[in-house]
Structure 1
Amino acid sequence: MNVIWARSAAILISLVVVAVGAYFVAGAVLALAVMSVSLVCLVAFHLYQINRLWKVLDAPAYGEIPSALGLWGEVYYRLHRLVKRWRLQVLQVERQHTRFIQAIQASPNGVLMLDDADQIEWCNDVAEQHFGLNARRDVRQRITHLIRRPDFVHYLTRQRFDEPLLMCDMGEHKHGVISVQVLPYGDNRKLVITQDITKLENTEAMRRDFVANVSHELKTPLTVLTGFLETVRDLPVSEEDRRRYVDMMLVQSMRMQSIVEDLLALAKLESDAQAPGQELVPVRELVNHLVHDAEALSQERHQIVAEIDPTVGLRGTEMELMSALGNLVSNAVRYTPAGGRITIRLGWDDGHAVFSVADTGLGIAPEHIPRLTERFYRVDRSRSRDTGGTGLGLAIVKHVVSRHHAELRVSSEVGRGSVFRVIFPLERSVREQAGAADPSRRAA
């Protein structure tokens, strides 16, 4: 027997005992009166408590469970315990729901939920950005009324979702590519997953361009070599012509060798996952060596000025820095017309070691600057070949600078020249004592 039945039986037994006592004391009439009044009071108490219970059940509110004595106290206690358990379960579900929403919001992919009528039920912030939607404003709106692109409408209505749909210039990604994948679930509902694949597409485009450019760059010298070899083999030529053909073939073969060497250097930089060392690089001697190389390459056709702060030191890999900084210097010499000025600086900028090369060359248009470090990208393709460039120098610079956690900044104005600056991080910039033999300024 449970507590409620026990307490009910105890109350009835108590009333019977009181009535029997009244019968023996004052007779049957008094006993009947006592019994009747007690039952009326008990019924009225129960009706009152039932009314209180009805109000609680009609408009439930946590923490407003009434209290009472006896049987109804037990009922309210158990009701309060049940409500508390249910509330804990609801709070747990709400926390799980909140964590689930937070996890979806943290996803780099867009998530959009559609009902059986293709109306928006919910979407995360990334989906809002990809589609240009507003979750609060557009909820319960049909998706095809908001995204009216024919390719998307056809993809959704065709009901063939094996392959994702690629959409360009969507929402805030006016120059990006979005992959859209629809996953059916539940009762004719759909989950729309979106992913920004702009970088992936750009990488694929760069790969295609790279293959095409390598083929094109190697094709020209190979064609020249093949033509001259066939000429020398099949036609009688004089010794002077033969020597001239051999010299031209040597130039083309050296050009191919330079391209292959730069490609191997790039491959080595990309495959080396270890960060450059922290050994101190003799950067002043390195820059002086680059100045001598620039003078030799210029052959007195340019005014070359070197401004070297003797207190500047660097930590890194000497060969990588030699390659990167050397490419910047040689490019300045190649692309500056005769009589121009080239300034090579090594100094400080707000605690950062800075290497810069400024020239008075032809300059670079603003639209070309973001793509300068791409492999084989050239502002003027014919001029690059005439100057002996492989089109890979700035790509090597980019990788070396990135490996040293430095920053490459390019500023240029057409017709007035360019400035290439490499800004090294604080942890690789070392301030040294100036030696007596260290040149602080040199001009040629």
Structure 2
Amino acid sequence: MSGQLVRSLLIALATALVAVPLGYFVAPWLGWGVFCLGLGLQLLFHFRNFARLDRWSRHPVVDASLEGEGEWDGVFGRLYRHEKELRQQIAQREQEIAMLIAAGQALTDGVVLLDLEHHILFCNRTAEAQLGLKIEVDRGQSIVNLVRQPEFARYLSDNDFSRPLSLRPERYRERVYAIHVIPYAGSRRLMQIKDVTQEDRLDQTRRDFVANVSHELRTPLTVLAGFLETLQEIELDTEERQRYLQMMSDQAGRMQSIVQDLLTLSSIESAPPPEDEVVDMSRLLDKLRRDAEALSGGRHTVELEIDGKADLLGAEPELVSAFGNLVTNAIRYTPPGGRVRILWNRTPLGAEFAVEDTGPGIDAKHIPRLTERFYRVDRGRSRDSGGTGLGLAIVKHSLGRHQAQLDIRSEVGKGSRFAARFPLHRVIAQG
């Protein structure tokens, strides 16, 4: 602006140099008139640029046509560049904020931003689905009024966020959420909502597993301890002694079977994916039939039906274990005189191994849980049949490693059908 001041002084000096001679030699009024005219024109020039600047300041825009005259052109040029840079910075900040919001929306955990009074400032889509919120409507509302659960309200009011809150929302009682509240920025709180339903189920499964193993082993151990105490304290004849020893042997064998099945299940779960070796199904099916006849001892009719010859790709020991469990269960639970059918069918979608029996059948309410470890429809009857409660769990894991599905159909009083369906890429046609 110093250049503009010098220029104005020079113009005023030049005007004075013209006006003084005119006023001295011609007429004083003429000199003053010329001098005032010069100053007036200069003021008009500046006023015109000031008016332009005033209009722009009321509605600042990035306008390349914004320009002045003389030194004012430099002023307007600097304003144009400053406004352009400022708008670029604002656009960049808005883009960064939009990316942060998009990242928050992409999180699989729920995120809710609250103020100190627990009013909602922001929440992502995951939190909306988890807590039933709607940010367009609920922004500014107290989250305690929207999530009406006493334990949640106490957690926020206690102000102790050292541990997360485990919450089962009223609208989704089967879900379990871990809620963490993190104070930030002085007067803000970030609430993170993590879905821990799967972890909770796994933890419950582990607890049930330990309880079931303890229960399954306690009975034979109690029997063994009782018989040992009897043998130590009471004199028995040879026949009675042998009977007790046989019962002890049966209970020891039962415990050995449980431990063996547990080891089998553990090895299947931790083993690498099965190798794609060709399993000769004709030989395997014939072995299953002979094993079934041996286990039945002539008490059942055992049939083998093959529709479309095909082999499988997979781990033969695992498939033998899975198929053998299905066949053994059918023999054990089918009353004498019943029929057990072993079926192998090639289908357009792959192949199916099935075992059908004419046993007592299973109530539909039990079917979804049959593959759970130690789950029994009738505990006493299962133990009498020699089962450990782990057979179908082994079947499920073995088939899952071969991308096969276990389909169970049963009707009380008519029998059951257990089918393992293999995908097409696991099937090799013969001939």
Match of 2:167 in 1: 167
Match of 1:116 in 2: 116
Choose the corresponding residue for 2:429, options 428, 431, 436.
431
Question: Would the alpha carbon gap of residues 66 and 416 (structure 1) be closer, same or farther in structure 2, given more than 3 Å must change?
Answer: farther
Tell me the CA shift for residue 141 of structure 1.
Answer: 0.4
Does the 8 Å contact 1:265/1:396 carry over to 2?
yes
Question: Would the alpha carbon gap of residues 301 and 141 (structure 1) be closer, same or farther in structure 2, given more than 3 Å must change?
Answer: same
Tell me the CA shift for residue 39 of structure 1.
Answer: 4.0
Query: Does residue 1:81 correspond to 2:81, yes or no?
Result: yes
Match of 2:236 in 1: 237
Give the aligned CA root-mean-square deviation in angstroms.
2.8
Q: What CA distance in whole angstroms lies between the structure 1 residues aligned with 2:424 and 2:42?
A: 87
Match of 2:349 in 1: 351
Deviates more, 1:157-166 or 1:341-350: 341-350
Match of 1:399 in 2: 397
Question: Would the alpha carbon gap of residues 306 and 99 (structure 1) be closer, same or farther in structure 2, given more than 3 Å must change?
Answer: farther
Tell me the CA shift for residue 132 of structure 1.
Answer: 1.6
Does the 8 Å contact 2:61/2:83 carry over to 1?
no
Match of 1:176 in 2: 175
Match of 1:223 in 2: 222
Match of 1:440 in 2: none
Match of 1:246 in 2: 245
Q: What CA distance in whole angstroms lies between the structure 1 residues aligned with 2:45 and 2:355?
A: 98
Does the 8 Å contact 1:8/1:71 carry over to 2?
no
Tell me the CA shift for residue 318 of structure 1.
Answer: 0.8
Q: What CA distance in whole angstroms lies between the structure 2 residues aligned with 1:253 and 1:239?
A: 21
Does the 8 Å contact 1:56/1:65 carry over to 2?
no
Match of 2:209 in 1: 210
TM-score normalised per structure 1:
0.87
Query: Does residue 1:308 correspond to 2:333, yes or no?
Result: no
Please state whether the residue corresponding to 1:86 is helix, strand or coil: helix
Question: Would the alpha carbon gap of residues 340 and 53 (structure 1) be closer, same or farther in structure 2, given more than 3 Å must change?
Answer: farther
Between the two structures, name the one with larger relative contact order (CA 8 Å, sep ≥ 6): 1
1:293-372 matched pairs, under 5 angstroms: 293-372=291-370
1:122-161 matched pairs, under 5 angstroms: 122-161=122-161
Q: What CA distance in whole angstroms lies between the structure 1 residues aligned with 2:281 and 2:34?
A: 113
Q: What CA distance in whole angstroms lies between the structure 1 residues aligned with 2:31 and 2:282?
A: 120
AA aligned opposite 2:89: Q
Please state whether the residue corresponding to 1:175 is helix, strand or coil: coil
Deviates more, 1:312-321 or 1:404-413: 404-413
Q: What CA distance in whole angstroms lies between the structure 2 residues aligned with 1:55 and 1:337?
A: 101
Deviates more, 1:370-379 or 1:291-300: 291-300
Query: Does residue 1:197 correspond to 2:177, yes or no?
Result: no
Q: What CA distance in whole angstroms lies between the structure 2 residues aligned with 1:313 and 1:31?
A: 120
Please state whether the residue corresponding to 1:200 is helix, strand or coil: helix
Match of 1:418 in 2: 416
Does the 8 Å contact 2:131/2:169 carry over to 1?
no
Question: Would the alpha carbon gap of residues 371 and 13 (structure 1) be closer, same or farther in structure 2, given more than 3 Å must change?
Answer: farther
Deviates more, 1:410-419 or 1:191-200: 410-419
Q: What CA distance in whole angstroms lies between the structure 1 residues aligned with 2:322 and 2:45?
A: 95
Question: Would the alpha carbon gap of residues 241 and 166 (structure 1) be closer, same or farther in structure 2, given more than 3 Å must change?
Answer: same
Tell me the CA shift for residue 213 of structure 1.
Answer: 0.9
Question: Would the alpha carbon gap of residues 249 and 22 (structure 1) be closer, same or farther in structure 2, given more than 3 Å must change?
Answer: same
Tell me the CA shift for residue 316 of structure 1.
Answer: 1.3
Tell me the CA shift for residue 12 of structure 1.
Answer: 5.7
Does the 8 Å contact 1:180/1:192 carry over to 2?
yes
Does the 8 Å contact 1:407/1:424 carry over to 2?
yes
Tell me the CA shift for residue 401 of structure 1.
Answer: 2.0
1:255-274 matched pairs, under 5 angstroms: 255-272=254-271, 274=272
Question: Would the alpha carbon gap of residues 13 and 220 (structure 1) be closer, same or farther in structure 2, given more than 3 Å must change?
Answer: same
Count of matched residue positions in the alignment of Structure 1 and Structure 2: 428
Deviates more, 1:255-264 or 1:8-17: 8-17
Please state whether the residue corresponding to 2:113 is helix, strand or coil: strand
Question: Would the alpha carbon gap of residues 146 and 41 (structure 1) be closer, same or farther in structure 2, given more than 3 Å must change?
Answer: same
Does the 8 Å contact 2:180/2:192 carry over to 1?
yes
Does the 8 Å contact 1:121/1:140 carry over to 2?
yes
Please state whether the residue corresponding to 1:424 is helix, strand or coil: strand
Q: What CA distance in whole angstroms lies between the structure 2 residues aligned with 1:429 and 1:22?
A: 113
Match of 2:385 in 1: 387
> In percent, how many aligned pairs have the same letter?
44
AA aligned opposite 1:125: R
Tell me the CA shift for residue 94 of structure 1.
Answer: 2.0
AA aligned opposite 1:51: A
Does the 8 Å contact 1:302/1:338 carry over to 2?
yes
Question: Would the alpha carbon gap of residues 91 and 416 (structure 1) be closer, same or farther in structure 2, given more than 3 Å must change?
Answer: farther
Q: What CA distance in whole angstroms lies between the structure 2 residues aligned with 1:122 and 1:344?
A: 61
Question: Would the alpha carbon gap of residues 414 and 113 (structure 1) be closer, same or farther in structure 2, given more than 3 Å must change?
Answer: farther
Does the 8 Å contact 1:316/1:404 carry over to 2?
yes
Question: Would the alpha carbon gap of residues 225 and 159 (structure 1) be closer, same or farther in structure 2, given more than 3 Å must change?
Answer: same
Does the 8 Å contact 1:65/1:76 carry over to 2?
no
Tell me the CA shift for residue 256 of structure 1.
Answer: 0.8
Please state whether the residue corresponding to 1:130 is helix, strand or coil: helix
Question: Would the alpha carbon gap of residues 360 and 50 (structure 1) be closer, same or farther in structure 2, given more than 3 Å must change?
Answer: farther
Question: Would the alpha carbon gap of residues 51 and 378 (structure 1) be closer, same or farther in structure 2, given more than 3 Å must change?
Answer: farther
AA aligned opposite 2:79: L
Q: What CA distance in whole angstroms lies between the structure 2 residues aligned with 1:283 and 1:137?
A: 63
Please state whether the residue corresponding to 2:331 is helix, strand or coil: helix
Question: Would the alpha carbon gap of residues 251 and 11 (structure 1) be closer, same or farther in structure 2, given more than 3 Å must change?
Answer: same
Does the 8 Å contact 1:111/1:191 carry over to 2?
yes
Does the 8 Å contact 2:308/2:346 carry over to 1?
no
Deviates more, 1:251-260 or 1:61-70: 61-70
Does the 8 Å contact 1:332/1:357 carry over to 2?
yes
Deviation digits for residues 113-142 of structure 1 (CA, Å, limit 9, x no counterpart): 111221111111222222221121111001
Question: Would the alpha carbon gap of residues 17 and 339 (structure 1) be closer, same or farther in structure 2, given more than 3 Å must change?
Answer: farther
Runs of 5+ unmatched residues, structure 2? none
Question: Would the alpha carbon gap of residues 94 and 240 (structure 1) be closer, same or farther in structure 2, given more than 3 Å must change?
Answer: same
Q: What CA distance in whole angstroms lies between the structure 2 residues aligned with 1:424 and 1:15?
A: 102
Runs of 5+ unmatched residues, structure 1? 434-444
Question: Would the alpha carbon gap of residues 424 and 54 (structure 1) be closer, same or farther in structure 2, given more than 3 Å must change?
Answer: farther
Does the 8 Å contact 1:170/1:177 carry over to 2?
no
Query: Does residue 1:72 correspond to 2:72, yes or no?
Result: yes
